[in-house]
């Protein structure tokens, strides 16, 4: 058999067996991690988004002097509900996003490993699998993120600022007023933002692999709680520090109070009026929120997925 024919045959076998690498356990574990971290830390997400869209030009946008000032002001003016504006689509979005992301990523990773979880992959392979998983997940969940942003950016307790009564109402009104395109505002910077998840997963996987290689352990070895927390935190800090500007652009494009012609117009306007600092508005709040959120998400995911996979194997043996 020629080399070309052998490669084609190998590719065909991989294509046929691709779906055999899909494990629902990763989907459930991802949902568990995303929902848990979202419910705990949603108020910081509200504050981060409000900081991000404050370009200093639109007077209706609330202005806060810091994280604590934002927290107390929102609580005083809008009550406990104000801190949890947009929590429903955020829970749906985070749960489905993490569930789908871990499902697609683990499936692609397992496919590349040909079913052997102890086969070490390189940084490039981790980056590719995470990028592909991120793009697919983004196209499925972007409407939920648009709704979450719109709900978070409803200021006060009444008046014209209250455009949406809730998640379903927002989905319906966005469709009637803006069509399908309305659901995909911020998609382009979101696609660039896939690099965030890709960098995060690459760093996280490389840290786990380096640790297990150093101690001569199989790369699928279950680590301790502190190790998962440390690796998750470090990977998130690296990813956030390198890719944060896209989140600012994305939030501003999804903001119903101000209209940009597109991603390039938003970028040029931000640079013109705010300089490079404008692309990092809300970064402190973001790191304060996403670092513990990632730690909670990854720790929950790792423990739930290991438990479910172990349970599944035991049932298979029986």
The parent domain of residue 88 ranges over 22-317
Residue 15 lies in a domain: no
Give the total residue count for the chain.
Answer: 318
User: Lowest-confidence range among 45-59, 85-99, 229-243?
Assistant: 45-59
Instruction: Give the pLDDT confidence of 43-78 residue by residue, as tens digits.
Output: 988 888 888 777 666 656 677 888 899 999 999 998
How many structural domains are present in the chain? Answer: 1
Residue 14 lies in a domain: no
Quick one: pLDDT band at residue 287, thresholds 50, 70, 90?
Answer: confident
Residue pair 227/211 in contact by the 8 Å Cβ criterion? yes
Mean pLDDT of 82-109: 92
Residue 167 lies in a domain: yes
Residue 9 lies in a domain: no
Crossing angle of helices 87-112 and 167-178, rounded to 10°: 80
Buried b (16+ CB within 10 A) or exposed e, 114-153: eeeeeeebeeebbbbbbbebbebbbeebbbbbbbbbbbbb
Domain CATH number, residue 45 = 1.50.40.10
Is the full-model pTM beyond 0.85?
no
Residue 6 lies in a domain: no
Instruction: Give the pLDDT confidence of 139-158 residue by residue, as tens digits.
Output: 999 999 899 888 888 866 55
User: Lowest-confidence range among 13-22, 67-76, 89-98, 166-175?
Assistant: 13-22
Residue 61 lies in a domain: yes
pLDDT value, residue 2: 42
Bigger pLDDT: 110 vs 62? 110
Residue 266 lies in a domain: yes
Residue pair 98/31 in contact by the 8 Å Cβ criterion? yes
User: In terms of Cα–Cα distance, which of 308, 313, 220, 289 is closest to 47?
Assistant: 289
Residue 8 lies in a domain: no
């Amino acid at each position: 058999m020629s080399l070309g024919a052998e490669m084609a045959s190998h590719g065909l076998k991989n294509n046929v067996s691709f779906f055999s690498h899909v494990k629902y356990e990763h989907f459930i574990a991802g949902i568990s991690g995303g929902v848990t971290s979202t419910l705990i830390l949603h108020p910081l997400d509200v504050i981060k988004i409000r900081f991000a869209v404050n370009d200093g030009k639109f007077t209706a946008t609330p202005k806060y002097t810091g994280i604590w000032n934002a927290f107390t002001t929102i609580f005083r003016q809008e009550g406990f509900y104000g801190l949890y504006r947009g929590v429903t689509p955020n829970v749906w979005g985070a749960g489905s996003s993490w569930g789908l992301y871990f499902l697609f990523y683990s499936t692609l990773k397992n496919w590349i490993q040909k079913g052997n979880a102890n086969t070490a992959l390189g940084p490039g392979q981790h980056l590719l699998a995470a990028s592909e998983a991120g793009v697919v997940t983004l196209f499925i969940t972007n409407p939920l993120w648009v709704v979450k942003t719109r709900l978070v950016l409803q200021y006060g307790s009444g008046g014209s600022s209250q455009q949406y009564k809730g998640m379903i109402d927002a989905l319906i009104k966005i469709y009637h007023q803006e069509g399908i395109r309305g659901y995909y505002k911020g998609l382009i910077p979101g696609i660039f933002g896939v690099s965030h998840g890709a960098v995060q997963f690459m760093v996280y996987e490389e840290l786990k692999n380096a640790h297990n290689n150093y101690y001569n352990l199989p790369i699928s070895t279950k680590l301790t709680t502190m190790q998962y927390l440390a690796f998750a935190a470090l990977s998130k800090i690296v990813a956030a520090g390198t890719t944060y500007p896209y989140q600012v652009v994305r939030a501003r494009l999804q903001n119903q109070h101000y209209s940009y012609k597109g991603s390039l117009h938003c970028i040029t306007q931000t640079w013109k009026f705010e300089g490079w600092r404008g692309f990092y508005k809300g970064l402190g709040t973001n790191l304060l929120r996403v670092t513990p959120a990632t730690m909670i998400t990854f720790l929950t995911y790792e423990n739930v997925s290991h438990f479910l996979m172990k349970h599944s194997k035991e049932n298979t043996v029986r």
